[in-house]
Amino acid sequence: MTNKIDTILAQAGNRDNNDQNNSISTPLYFGSNFRHDSLEEVETSDPTKRYSYSRLATPTRSVLQKALAELEGGVDSFAVSSGMAAIQLVFSLFKSGDHIITSDDLYGGSFRYFDYLSSHYGIKFSKWDGKDVDELKHLVTKDTKAIWLETPSNPTMKIIDIAEVSNLLHSIDNSILVCVDNTFLTPIYQRPLTLGADIVVHSATKYLSGHNDLLGGVVVAKDKAVDDDLLFNFNTTGVTLDPFDSWLLLRSLKTLSVRMERHTKNARYLCACLKKFDSVQKVLYPGVGGMISFYVNDDKVAQLLDNLKVISFAESLGGIESLVTLPAKQTHSDMTKEARLKLGITDNLIRLSVGLEDPRDLVEDIRQALGDAPIKLEESEKQTSTIN
């Protein structure tokens, strides 16, 4: 029987946590190493089933990894110490001379890392705008090993059709790995492996954990061969998530779908309201999820960030508490100004991670900070949200 996503989430770790007392909640094991009963056991056992040393496997992380694999529909998953560690684990599959295509509007840290891989390790990168598939076809070379996608993109919310890209690239060369950073939508709204992708990564620091209290990452592969290569690098380099954060992440996952539903509801309401403010020029929102980007009048940027009372001006996203960031000065500050402007990441672009507060308080917070007049939603506009 294959369970539906809400059941996978609610039941994560209940029946398969190996606890001798049948605890419903997965116990937290801190042990770094495990006693063997005999030499024979060491010689014959599978180290991922029979625990030995926690870099290789540890009970709390194993339960979490099983739940994450099921959520994304992969063979197994790797829980690692950060989203960047997840990206690094995937890139451990590639070597000097390999060619990777990436979408052009990425998380700032991914840009920085890819630049480094290019200058220090001779991995070749090409950027694709995420739209023109003919152009994508022409970017493929005999050295192309993977495409790296973020959809919706960060921070300008461009949407890429994962199924179309996967079909196209796999028809050219079935071994090209389609990799998707699924941090923004989570498996609640997008399951890339079911759309043809080969590898999914997450910054679990964001929605998967959702409480602004841990740093973590996830890699999930669809095929056993890719998974085995990742496992070798995971065990060898030790980018693992520790037991306590594994436990916290497992517990947080259980509420993922209810949180995402409310993030979406709040974000839709905020979008409808933001569009009405005099100081707001344009609002970007992919339709689901809790991430909104918007352009404000240049003279209102500092005023907004300095005067918010509920929403925090802080880097990161995906948590219960609403946060705003200024990508040009924070997450994307390492890009050149030209590259930023080309993507629309101007100095007046604000990124908002809509939290789980009452959205009316969030709208009022933004209004008072901007110094704009109160707005009123039409009946039809209210229908995008059930909040009146």
Ligand X SMILES: *Cc1c(COP(=O)(O)O)cnc(C)c1O
Counting contacts by CB under 6 A, is residue 294 touching ligand X? no
Q: What's the CA gap between 76 and 61, in Å, rounded? A: 12
Classify residue 375 by its DSSP letter: -
x-marked contacts with ligand X along 82-101 as a string, rule CB under 6 A:
xxx-----------------
How many binding residues for ligand X (CB under 6 A)?
A: 15
Token output for 149:
């996608």
CA 217 to chain centre: 8
Give catalytic status of residue 55 as yes or no: yes
Counting contacts by CB under 6 A, is residue 181 touching ligand X? yes
Give catalytic status of residue 206 as yes or no: yes
How many other C-beta atoms can be found within 10 angstroms of the C-beta atom of residue 160? 20
Q: Which CB sits closer to ligand X, 59 or 289? A: 289
Residue 92 near residue 116 (C-beta atoms within 8 A): no
Part of the chain binding ligand X (CB under 6 A), chosen from 6-14, 24-32, 105-113, 241-249: 105-113
Candidate list 107, 207, 285, 295, residue with the active-site label:
107
Q: Which CB sits closer to ligand X, 59 or 216? A: 216
Shortest distance, position 106 Cβ to ligand X, whole Å: 8
How many other C-beta atoms can be found within 10 angstroms of the C-beta atom of residue 188? 21
Give catalytic status of residue 53 as yes or no: no
Counting contacts by CB under 6 A, is residue 354 touching ligand X? no
How close are the terminal C-alpha atoms of the chain, in Å? 41
Q: Which CB sits closer to ligand X, 148 or 277? A: 148
Query: Which amino acid does the sequence have at 8?
Result: I
Q: Which CB sits closer to ligand X, 74 or 155? A: 155
Counting contacts by CB under 6 A, is residue 325 touching ligand X? no
Give catalytic status of residue 107 as yes or no: yes
**Residue of 154, 166, 209, 348 that binds ligand X (CB under 6 A):** 154
Candidate list 105, 181, 227, 365, residue with the active-site label:
181
Q: Which of residues 201-230 bind ligand X (CB under 6 A)?
A: 203, 205-206, 215, 217
Q: Which CB sits closer to ligand X, 144 or 154? A: 154
Shortest distance, position 316 Cβ to ligand X, whole Å: 7
Q: Which CB sits closer to ligand X, 144 or 205? A: 205
Q: Please identify which residue in the block is written with the tokens 């509420």.
A: 255
Q: What's the CA gap between 175 and 180, in Å, rounded? A: 16
Query: Long-range contacts for 251-256 (Cβ within 8 Å, ≥24 apart)?
Result: 251/25, 252/208, 252/209, 252/210, 252/211, 253/9, 253/12, 253/64, 253/67, 253/68, 253/71, 253/208, 254/9, 254/10, 254/12, 255/9, 255/210, 256/9, 256/186, 256/188, 256/207, 256/208, 256/210
Q: Please identify which residue in the block is written with the tokens 């992440």.
A: 249
Which residues are near ligand X by CB under 6 A? 82-84, 107, 109-110, 150, 154, 181, 183, 203, 205-206, 215, 217
Q: Active-site residue numbers?
A: 55, 107, 181, 206
